[in-house]
Chains A and B, each alone.
Chain A
Amino acid sequence: MSKEQTLSRFYLFLEKFERFDKKLIYLVLLLGLISIAALYSIDKGQSNLYFKHLVRFFFAIGVMLFISFRSISIWYRYAYHFYALILFLLFILKFIGVTAKGSQRWLDFGLFHVQPSELAKLAIIIVLARFYHSVKSEDVNRFFNLLLSTFLIVIPFLLVLRQPDLGTSLLILFAALGVLWIVGLSKKIIISGILILIISLPFAFAALKPYQKNRIINFFDSSRDPLGANYQVNQAKIGIGSGGIFGKGYLKGSQSSLDFVPENHTDFIFSHIAEEFGLVGSLLLLWLLFTIIKRVILIGDKATTNFSKIFCYAFAFNFFLYIAINLGMVTGLLPVVGVPLPILSYGGTAMLTNMIGFGIVLSIQQHKENYF
């Protein structure tokens, strides 16, 4: 390769870099830093979780940037392959998965553990985006197409449900439904679906594990069993509420630091942030999350292909879904389901998944002129 070529490639790279939606990158970086600071504050630096999260975060940022420089057409081309790979991982989980907390969710890769169910959320969006990209809008509600998409959705759903991981499997389902909504699934079908869901609810409830039933019952009666199933939410609410308007100050929160709030590093991290930074801090965080969603939707708006549009909207919806369910749960508006707060919660694969998603979104923004 000649020197000129190298130089021109370099300038091309710089040019690409210039074109990036830097605001989105900054926002994501900010979110990551907040997360690391919060993790540090929970343990007052006594554990290295925050450092692990830091390393993972920058690794994930690297992955995001790497993906964003690649053409979006790669994802379009290999969507089914990616989906198949994830299904394969979910499938082999049954045999070689690491069991923790009563469910087989992790694959051990020596250096790190991977949770394929997290990646499945991304895979389902990509594969459905790919699928509906080629389906004409008037054919969306055709029975055959519906059947195909149902298959695409139900297989990972059941594989994750079997682990067992109700929360994630429901999120996969919702993410998929989000895509279906966006591509214009007829309201008739959606309403029928909702009716069927309501009718089957009692049966589904009967099939739940006792602890899951308890969570749902407790949600409707919060005074019940304050030291048992409601303990988590009560303690989280104490953390949030005691923060007040301006919070207790950084490193001064006690609820999470003294382990009163369970899952304080993962699902309930918002409680700690709200305790230390109060209403002001938590509303700023809400604004930050909301702005990220808006940026992603904006990129979707400017995207030229339907695959890109569908992906952006669906990813934004998925991101929103996580936030909504997590915050709803932490503030006691929704029953407790193990859903992390994207990027903020400690956890490698979930963050990686989100960063891959942002990578793809950035790639969409970067490669608007790519048509498939």
Chain B
Amino acid sequence: MRFFKHRPSDGYQTKSGIINRRKAILNTVKYTFFGLIGLRLLWLQVFKKKKYTVLSDRNRYKEWKIASERGLILDRFGNRLAESRQVYRIALIKGDVTDLEFVLQNLKKILNLTEDVVEKTINEFRKIRQFQPYVINKNLTWSEFSKINSNLFILNGVQPFVSMERHYNFPFEFAHTLGYVGLPSEVDLQNQKNDLFRTPGIKVGKNGIEKVINNVLIGRPGFTRFEVNAAGRAVRTVEFVDGVSGNALRTNLDLELQRLIFSRLGSTAGSVVVMDVNNGEIYACVSTPSYDTNKFALGISQDELNVLLNNDRRPLVNKPLSGQYPPGSVIKPLIMLSALDNKIIDQTYVHSCPGKIELYGQEFYCWKDGGHGKVNFTDAMKKSCDIYFYELARLLGVDRIAETAKKLGMGFNLLPEFEEEKKGLIPDTKWKKNVLGKNWLLGETLITGIGQGYMLSTPIQLCKLIAQFANGGYNVIPSFFGTVKSKREKLDFDSDHIELVKETLNVSTNEPGGTSYGSRLTGELKFCGKTGTSQVVKLNIKDREDDGSPTAREYKYRDHSLFAGFGPVDKPKWAVAVVAEHSGPGSRVAAPVAKTVFDFLFKKRFTNV
């Protein structure tokens, strides 16, 4: 270790010499360190400036967003279906509230808060950040509001304010179509990329149109930007930015028609869809029974919700879009078109109906005891002869029926942005093999021919189906708002075949003996369509005997009553689909509803252009 050895070669050093030398070494250290600090500052202040500026602003500014007014929803004539109303509310500011218990006790007295609300407030209040407001979910009356204001001196941290709340002018009529708004759920918050939904007190569309075009209606929240100190307390207001109200939405709905249908359906559980046959604009979309969306907008209590959930007529279900029914005889125009299209028959085809046939060891009945005798092409539709269509189905086979149905848009979502919409079901052999794992039975083909068995469709699909017959075989895309501007797309069918089917439909309604003759309109303008009575369960002999008395069976086993039609016959403008759940034959319940609708449309809405 030479280093530690005494080295006399250093020679004699004066004290100040040593001091000077040592000082010089120290100076080098100092230079180095100052250089290092300089470089560090260069790094922080030049190369990392952006990062730290962002962090500094994030520290410095806090934004308190104020939810903006939600856009109006109008019907096609500009009537207000949903609007925003001023309501009085109170918020608790965390950090300003000194004694939450005391404040809530007092609020409970003044506002008659329920125990639920108090408990929820305590729970939620714990979660929010310092100096953030928590809005109590209750609308105040003016007298409550003024009482709060005059008691503010004891209510530390209570902030009364005026806000805009959603109000539905026709809460029951448009409940399913418009939907309602509510506080964003955890899922909503996670799906949203920006922090718009984090605005305190903001309401977002929960379903229906409110949800589909939430981003149009919601507007842009205003905000007050505060400079806050490290404790989070606002030091001064930096800027105030007004929010932008949501845009008004003009829908294709017709308020008067919707209300008429709603009252016409009354207590019947069912749905009606009215659609423009040319551009798919939905004039009315009613689902009954209904519920009060205003209650949902304010937050419904669990008890009230349970009542709705336990109702066997399913008031919460948007039946036109998500009710799936066997279409019954309403499918017959489609079967007929399929038969014509596949060149199985032509308009001269005649088949004999004995009332009952036996095939593959099974009995298949016509709805009419004793049968129709010899049935020709037109009468088959007019009288809705089941045996005739069994034969068509047998000749076609289920796969060709399915092909035609899919060409007409059955079995697909029509309004994909509505999450609640169901696809219905168009069965074929492949489907059964894949899904049920069984081979298709020939007997099942027969009942498919009269819209029973596996086949399911939604009212809106039936409306689209009939609309496409009405307009001469053009594709129709239903829409609640705006019009799908794409070019009219001709479906791959022979126009003559479509016209043939249309004519049989006309006969069904407007000639004596037709299934919906009883519901015909006698004026200059006429409508026509196909009735349907779809069975929910397989009928036994006794049921057949009881047929006609709708109350003979238990409610949930009764037949659905369906009708799909269009009008005016000469110049089709509207298509109507009616489904009345568990209420008997189509001619007795559904067709008269359609009559009311067409009567209204012809009298009030028809202009001969």
Chain A contact residues, CB within 8 Å of chain B: 136-137, 178, 181-184, 187-188, 191, 235, 237-245, 254-255, 258-260, 274, 278-279, 282-283, 286, 290, 293, 297, 300-301, 306, 309-310, 313, 317, 320, 324, 327-328, 331-333
What residue of chain A has the Cβ atom nearest to residue B41's Cβ?
Answer: A282
Kindly provide the distance from the CB of A251 to the nearest chain B CB, expressed in whole angstroms.
Answer: 14
Contact (Cβ within 8 A) B18 A181: no
A242 vs B49: C-alpha distance when bound (angstroms): 5
Contact (Cβ within 8 A) A238 B56: yes
Contact (Cβ within 8 A) B19 A182: yes
Contact (Cβ within 8 A) B46 A260: no
Kindly provide the distance from the CB of B212 to the nearest chain A CB, expressed in whole angstroms.
Answer: 41
A324 vs B34: C-alpha distance when bound (angstroms): 8
Residues in B whose Cβ lies below 8 Å from that of A238: 52, 55-56, 59
Residues in B whose Cβ lies below 8 Å from that of A243: 45, 49
Contact (Cβ within 8 A) A331 B52: no
A238 vs B46: C-alpha distance when bound (angstroms): 12
A300 vs B15: C-alpha distance when bound (angstroms): 14
Contact (Cβ within 8 A) A328 B37: yes
A360 vs B231: C-alpha distance when bound (angstroms): 44
Kindly provide the distance from the CB of B341 to the nearest chain A CB, expressed in whole angstroms.
Answer: 70
Residues in B whose Cβ lies below 8 Å from that of A313: 19, 23, 26
Residues in A whose Cβ lies below 8 Å from that of B235: 258
What residue of chain A has the Cβ atom nearest to residue B57's Cβ?
Answer: A242
Contact (Cβ within 8 A) A260 B51: no
Residues in B whose Cβ lies below 8 Å from that of A237: 44, 52
Kindly provide the distance from the CB of B293 to the nearest chain A CB, expressed in whole angstroms.
Answer: 44
Chain B contact residues, CB within 8 Å of chain A: 3-4, 13-16, 18-20, 22-23, 26-27, 30, 33-34, 36-38, 40-42, 44-46, 48-49, 51-53, 55-57, 59-60, 227-231, 235
A309 vs B60: C-alpha distance when bound (angstroms): 49
A327 vs B20: C-alpha distance when bound (angstroms): 27
A245 vs B49: C-alpha distance when bound (angstroms): 9
A301 vs B229: C-alpha distance when bound (angstroms): 49
A241 in contact with B45 given A137-B14, A254-B56, A258-B227 (CB within 8 Å)? yes
Contact (Cβ within 8 A) B59 A260: yes
A259 in contact with B229 given A184-B19, A240-B44, A306-B15 (CB within 8 Å)? yes
The listed residue with most A CB atoms (<10 A of its CB), out of B3, B38, B51, B57, is B38
Kindly provide the distance from the CB of A295 to the nearest chain B CB, expressed in whole angstroms.
Answer: 13
Residues in A whose Cβ lies below 8 Å from that of B40: 331-333
Residue in contact with A241 in the complex, picked from B15, B36, B49, CB distance below 8 Å? B49
Contact (Cβ within 8 A) B228 A258: yes
Could you list 21 examples of A-B contacts with CB < 8 Å?
A: A182-B26, A183-B19, A184-B18, A188-B4, A241-B51, A241-B53, A242-B49, A242-B57, A244-B49, A254-B59, A254-B227, A258-B60, A274-B41, A286-B37, A297-B23, A310-B19, A313-B23, A324-B30, A331-B37, A333-B36, A333-B40
Kindly provide the distance from the CB of B404 to the nearest chain A CB, expressed in whole angstroms.
Answer: 65
Kindly provide the distance from the CB of A230 to the nearest chain B CB, expressed in whole angstroms.
Answer: 13
A306 vs B46: C-alpha distance when bound (angstroms): 45
What residue of chain B has the Cβ atom nearest to residue A256's Cβ?
Answer: B230
Contact (Cβ within 8 A) A242 B53: yes
Contact (Cβ within 8 A) B23 A244: no
Contact (Cβ within 8 A) A297 B37: no
Residues in A whose Cβ lies below 8 Å from that of B59: 235, 238, 254-255, 258, 260
A243 vs B13: C-alpha distance when bound (angstroms): 50
Contact (Cβ within 8 A) B30 A293: yes
A243 vs B235: C-alpha distance when bound (angstroms): 21
Kindly provide the distance from the CB of B230 to the nearest chain A CB, expressed in whole angstroms.
Answer: 4
Contact (Cβ within 8 A) A331 B44: yes
Residue in contact with A286 in the complex, picked from B3, B38, B55, CB distance below 8 Å? B38
Contact (Cβ within 8 A) A241 B52: yes
Kindly provide the distance from the CB of B250 to the nearest chain A CB, expressed in whole angstroms.
Answer: 47
Residues in A whose Cβ lies below 8 Å from that of B36: 333
Contact (Cβ within 8 A) B22 A184: yes
Closest 10 CB pairs of A and B: A241-B52, A242-B56, A184-B18, A259-B230, A137-B15, A279-B45, A258-B229, A242-B52, A241-B44, A244-B49
A117 vs B3: C-alpha distance when bound (angstroms): 38
Kindly provide the distance from the CB of B373 to the nearest chain A CB, expressed in whole angstroms.
Answer: 89
Kindly provide the distance from the CB of B447 to the nearest chain A CB, expressed in whole angstroms.
Answer: 68
Residues in B whose Cβ lies below 8 Å from that of A242: 49, 52-53, 55-57
Given contacts A242-B49, A279-B46, 19 further A-B contacts (CB under 8 A): A137-B15, A137-B18, A183-B18, A184-B15, A184-B19, A188-B3, A238-B56, A241-B48, A242-B56, A243-B45, A245-B45, A245-B46, A254-B56, A279-B45, A286-B41, A300-B23, A320-B30, A327-B37, A328-B37
What residue of chain A has the Cβ atom nearest to residue B230's Cβ?
Answer: A259
Contact (Cβ within 8 A) B60 A254: yes
Kindly provide the distance from the CB of B85 to the nearest chain A CB, expressed in whole angstroms.
Answer: 39
A309 in contact with B16 given A254-B56, A258-B229 (CB within 8 Å)? yes
What residue of chain A has the Cβ atom nearest to residue B45's Cβ?
Answer: A279
Residues in B whose Cβ lies below 8 Å from that of A181: 22, 26
A324 vs B32: C-alpha distance when bound (angstroms): 11
Kindly provide the distance from the CB of A258 to the nearest chain B CB, expressed in whole angstroms.
Answer: 4
What residue of chain B has the Cβ atom nearest to residue A136's Cβ?
Answer: B15
A300 vs B40: C-alpha distance when bound (angstroms): 30
Contact (Cβ within 8 A) A279 B41: yes
Kindly provide the distance from the CB of B9 to the nearest chain A CB, expressed in whole angstroms.
Answer: 15
Residues in A whose Cβ lies below 8 Å from that of B15: 136-137, 183-184, 306
Contact (Cβ within 8 A) B52 A259: no
A245 vs B41: C-alpha distance when bound (angstroms): 10
Contact (Cβ within 8 A) B231 A259: yes
A359 vs B26: C-alpha distance when bound (angstroms): 23
Kindly provide the distance from the CB of A292 to the nearest chain B CB, expressed in whole angstroms.
Answer: 12
A297 vs B26: C-alpha distance when bound (angstroms): 11
Contact (Cβ within 8 A) B19 A306: yes
A332 vs B51: C-alpha distance when bound (angstroms): 16
A116 vs B228: C-alpha distance when bound (angstroms): 38
What residue of chain B has the Cβ atom nearest to residue A180's Cβ?
Answer: B22
A301 vs B21: C-alpha distance when bound (angstroms): 11
A286 in contact with B45 given A259-B231, A297-B27 (CB within 8 Å)? no
Kindly provide the distance from the CB of B4 to the nearest chain A CB, expressed in whole angstroms.
Answer: 5
Kindly provide the distance from the CB of A218 to the nearest chain B CB, expressed in whole angstroms.
Answer: 18
Residues in B whose Cβ lies below 8 Å from that of A332: 40
What residue of chain A has the Cβ atom nearest to residue B59's Cβ?
Answer: A260
Kindly provide the distance from the CB of A122 to the nearest chain B CB, expressed in whole angstroms.
Answer: 18
A293 vs B27: C-alpha distance when bound (angstroms): 10
A163 vs B235: C-alpha distance when bound (angstroms): 38
Contact (Cβ within 8 A) A244 B45: yes
Residue in contact with B42 in the complex, picked from A182, A259, A279, A324, CB distance below 8 Å? A279
A279 vs B42: C-alpha distance when bound (angstroms): 7
Residues in A whose Cβ lies below 8 Å from that of B20: 301
Contact (Cβ within 8 A) A290 B60: no
What residue of chain B has the Cβ atom nearest to residue A275's Cβ?
Answer: B56
Kindly provide the distance from the CB of A288 to the nearest chain B CB, expressed in whole angstroms.
Answer: 11
A292 vs B16: C-alpha distance when bound (angstroms): 22
Kindly provide the distance from the CB of B18 to the nearest chain A CB, expressed in whole angstroms.
Answer: 4
Residues in A whose Cβ lies below 8 Å from that of B60: 254-255, 258, 260
A283 vs B35: C-alpha distance when bound (angstroms): 10
Residue in contact with B41 in the complex, picked from A235, A283, A309, A324, CB distance below 8 Å? A283
What residue of chain A has the Cβ atom nearest to residue B48's Cβ?
Answer: A241
Contact (Cβ within 8 A) B23 A182: yes
Residues in B whose Cβ lies below 8 Å from that of A235: 59
Contact (Cβ within 8 A) B230 A260: yes
Residues in A whose Cβ lies below 8 Å from that of B37: 286, 324, 327-328, 331, 333
Residues in B whose Cβ lies below 8 Å from that of A331: 37, 40-41, 44
Residues in A whose Cβ lies below 8 Å from that of B230: 258-260
A136 vs B228: C-alpha distance when bound (angstroms): 63
A328 vs B38: C-alpha distance when bound (angstroms): 11
The listed residue with most B CB atoms (<10 A of its CB), out of A183, A235, A238, is A238
